[in-house]
Amino acid sequence: MAFADTILPYLRAQEESNVKNRTLLSYPLIVSIITTICIHYCFKGQTIFQSTRSSLFGTVCVMKAQWVKLFEMMSIQSVNKPDVVVVTSFQPLAGGGGGETLDFSLADALNQEFLHTRTNEKVELQHLNDRFASYIEKVRFLEQQNATLVVEIERLRGREPTRIADLYEEEMRDLRRQVEALTNQRSRAEVERDNLGEDLDKLKLRLQEEILQREDAENNLAAFRADVDAATLARLDLERRIETLQEEIAFLKKIHEEEIREMQSQMQETQVQIQMDMSKPDLTAALRDIRAQYEGIAAKNISEAEEWYKSKVTDLNQAVNKNNEALKQAKMETMEFRHQLQSYTCEIDSLKGTNESLMRQMREMEERHGREAGGFQDTISRLEAEIANMKDEMARHLREYQDLLNVKMALDVEIATYRKLLEGEESRISLPIQNYSTMTFRETSPEHHHRVAESHSKKSVLIKTIETRDGEVVSESTQHQQDIM
């Protein structure tokens, strides 16, 4: 329903009624009626800026023209009271025949002021309509933004924190598993290092024992060499003694043979002399006996010397063989000890290399573990910072939502107040308008204006307090308050 179709019939009816009754409808009442109907249609979803604004402008122009015609045809007497216009005489617009005449003596004086007032009120009315329409649009925009923020807050509250918390917990579990795995690897590496250290200590002890045994073998070898040298010297001495004895035996044989020859020659000389002089006793048997005796003694001495020499040579050979066997055994043991020492040296070198590689791996593992732990700590700090930022953002959204909710509640309260005022105005307008057949004078006193102002300055305010903590509603209270404007 168009705005002009609503307001024009009513204004025209009032105009005809006032013309017939020689009264004039007050301009503030007309403005109040137009404002009330505009607000009523704005609350019902109709806007003045589209189809109604042109109708309102046309209506105001028509009213302005009619009022100009009325003031040109009427004599107006001004009374120093607010909102009072007195018509002293009236002549109908239709039918210019006889009747009463109009006094235009004061019309020219008030016409310019009235037109200026009408123009200002028109501009003010348009400005108020624009403000009210922008206010309604702002309310709708804030409601839409409020709904959007509510949806976003619900989404952030219902999904994002849970998902981020799950991701954070999952990543923390992965990091804990990695830390546990690295700790286990480090423990195993430490155990292997300790075991290798124990093996190295055992090998060092064994090496010390082998070194001591080698020194003992070398000392024994030196002693055996000394014994061999002593046995060699003794053998050489015995050989020299044997040679000496052989030479002595040969010399004794030679001497013995010479003695025998001398004795034989002496015996022959003696035998000749005996034959010549006298018959002497037979010495051949005695010499034979002496020779046999000396030969037995010499053979006995030779056999004893040979037996002693043979026994000494046998003992020396046995000692030499024994010393040679001991020397061979010592050489074999030395070679074996040398091979064992070389193998132990190689094994120690390999163990040292293994230990160094393990130590290097352990240091690298510790450095990598430190870097990974630092990276994990940085990741944890970054995630905690992101969580803190998201919490701050959520708190900021909640504060904005609370502010918007407070604004919305205040707007709801104000809209409810406007609705009540409009309903009261509509009920007041819907009352039957009294038609006065006679000229009416109304005087208002300052006390009456003060009471009316007090009656219209009271406003009921609904205060709703919502207390939130960490994004959750803790308490909610509602309070009615009467404010005096």
- What is residue 207's predicted lDDT score, i.e. its pLDDT? 86
List the structure tokens of 218: 């070398």
Mean pLDDT for 152-172 is 72
The β-bridge partners of 75 are 89
Note whether 245 and 309 are within 8 A (CB).
yes
Higher per-residue confidence, 67 vs 154: 154
The β-bridge partners of 483 are 459
Mean pLDDT for 210-224 is 83
Note whether 81 and 70 are within 8 A (CB).
no
The β-bridge partners of 86 are 77
Least confident stretch, 50-59, 244-253, 280-289, 332-341: 50-59
Q: What is the mean pLDDT of the chain?
A: 68
Mean pLDDT for 28-35 is 51
Residue 208 clears pLDDT 80, i.e. is over it: yes
Residue type at position 292: A
Residue 276 clears pLDDT 70, i.e. is over it: no
Note whether 81 and 444 are within 8 A (CB).
yes
Helix (H) / strand (E) containing 183: helix 160-277
Distance in angstroms (rounded) separating the CA atoms of residues 458 and 424: 14
Residue 291 clears pLDDT 80, i.e. is over it: no
Q: Supply angle C-alpha 465, 135, 407, rounded to 5.
A: 15
Note whether 434 and 15 are within 8 A (CB).
no
Distance in angstroms (rounded) separating the CA atoms of residues 70 and 68: 5
Mean pLDDT for 46-52 is 40
Distance in angstroms (rounded) separating the CA atoms of residues 421 and 111: 34
Residue 433 clears pLDDT 60, i.e. is over it: no
Give the CA-trace dihedral at 166, 167, 169, 171, to 10 degrees. Answer: 160
Residue type at position 329: Q
- Phi, psi (rounded to 5 degrees) for 444: -120, 135
Helix (H, G, I), strand (E, B) or coil at 148: helix
Q: Which residues contact 343 (CB under 8 A, 6 or more apart)?
A: none
Q: Supply angle C-alpha 404, 410, 411, rounded to 5.
A: 85
Distance in angstroms (rounded) separating the CA atoms of residues 44 and 418: 13
pTM of the predicted model as reported, rounded to 2 decimal places: 0.27
Residue type at position 367: E
Give the confidence band of 455 by pLDDT, cuts at 50, 70, 90.
very low
Residue 107 clears pLDDT 80, i.e. is over it: no
Distance in angstroms (rounded) separating the CA atoms of residues 171 and 182: 16
C-alpha distances (whole Å) from 156 to each of 144, 161, 451 are 18, 7, 54
Distance in angstroms (rounded) separating the CA atoms of residues 98 and 149: 74
Query: Which of 460, 415, 464, 438 lies closest to 142 in space, CA to CA?
Result: 415
Query: Which of 218, 220, 415, 227 lies closest to 321 in space, CA to CA?
Result: 227
Residue 343 clears pLDDT 70, i.e. is over it: yes
Give the CA-trace dihedral at 180, 186, 191, 195, to 10 degrees. Answer: 160
Residue 409 clears pLDDT 80, i.e. is over it: yes
Distance in angstroms (rounded) separating the CA atoms of residues 315 and 318: 5
Residue 79 clears pLDDT 50, i.e. is over it: no
- What is residue 437's predicted lDDT score, i.e. its pLDDT? 38
Residue 410 clears pLDDT 80, i.e. is over it: yes
